[in-house]
Amino acid sequence: MERLPFITGNWKMNKTVGEAIHLVRELKSAMSGIKGVEVAVAPPFTSLYAVHQELEGSSIGLAAQNLYWEEKGAFTGEVSPLMLKEVGCHYVIVGHSERRQFFGETDETVNRRIKAALTQGLKVIFCIGETLGEREEGKTFLLIEKQIEGGLRGLGDQEMRNIVIAYEPVWAIGTGKTATPEQAEEVHRFIREKLEKLYSQKISEEIRIQYGGSVTPENVKGLMNQPNIDGALVGGASLKADSFSKIVRFKEL
Ligand code: PEP
């Protein structure tokens, strides 16, 4: 089954509006003419609209880094799915480990966010992954299973078509320690098998599973060569046009 590779740049809490516009202009020129790969960037909320305007007419998609599940109201500091849609987002990242770690996200709140995003027609990049402690205790698969079951609870086959999964081992995020292609592939295969049990062979074969955790131009090819790795969620290396465009052009490396 051919799945279109999907590379997303998660800018996290980086880039002012001016810096975001500058980066996206560089990205557009570095990526012109590229085919056979889907690309999206996830700037902070404050830059979404400006980046959307800059991206008009380009094939680079726009993603937000989080959202809240209510439509509107007294939820100070939160942003609704409709608001993201209106500023031009196609995707939203949900359940990133930094949200789970620092902002109290649980499988249940991740599930509520995913459902709200889908209701507004946003596609979801659903992040899962184990900590170093969980890996060392041999709990990786148990944890991944729990995060999948909790995060996707209540979603049907149709909704799964708008989900991308990002496997991001927490110990590899921002640490420079990448999972080896074999370590990542082992978990990606497990995720696909779990989806086959929960849904169907068709859904499990269609869904794209990105790897995230210190992806660089140096290691992307080895990861992308694995049969169940369909893309990357890139943090640090997405903040510079040069490294991000090299990752996107992994086939040419
Ligand atoms: C991320 O935050 O999604 C990520 C993978 O970060 P980094 O590439 O910096 O490890």
Question: How many distinct structural domains can be found in the chain?
Answer: 1
Task: List the CATH number of the domain containing 182.
Answer: 3.20.20.70
**Does residue 1 belong to any structural domain of this protein?**
no
Q: Which of 5, 28, 25 is nearest to 15 (CA)?
A: 25
Q: How far apart are the first and last CA of the chain?
A: 23
Which residues span the domain enclosing 216? 6-252
Query: What backbone phi and psi angles, to 5 degrees, belong to 94?
Result: -130, 135
pLDDT tens for 178-201 read 899 999 999 999 999 999 999 999
In a domain, 58, yes or no: yes
Mean pLDDT to the nearest integer, 209-227? 97
Pocket perturbation via mutation, ligand 1, pick of 214, 218, 240, 244 by most ligand atoms within 8 A of CB: 214
Looking at the domain assignment, is residue 147 inside a domain?
A: yes
Average pLDDT, rounded, for the chain: 97
Q: Whole-angstrom Cα distance, residue 2 to residue 28?
A: 26
Q: Which residues of 179-203 are buried (b: 16+ CB within 10 A; e: fewer)?
A: bebeebbebbebbbebbeebbeeeb
Quote the pLDDT of residue 177.
85
What are the tens digits of pLDDT across the range 105-140? 999 999 999 999 999 999 999 999 999 999 999 999
Closest by Cα among 249, 174, 164 to 213: 174
Whose tokens are 């698969």? That residue is 141
Give the residue numbers annotated as catalytic, written as ranges. Answer: 96, 168
Residue 19 lies in a domain: yes
Confidence of residue 202 (pLDDT cuts 50, 70, 90): very high
As given in the structure block, the two tokens for residue 51 are 């980046």
pTM of this prediction exceeds 0.95: yes
Q: Is the alpha carbon torsion for 20, 22, 27, 32 positive or negative?
A: positive
- Identify the bridge partners of residue 94 per DSSP, sorted by sequence position: 126
Determine if ligand 1 sits within 6 Å of the CB of residue 43.
no
> What residue's CA is closest to ligand 1, atom 8?
235
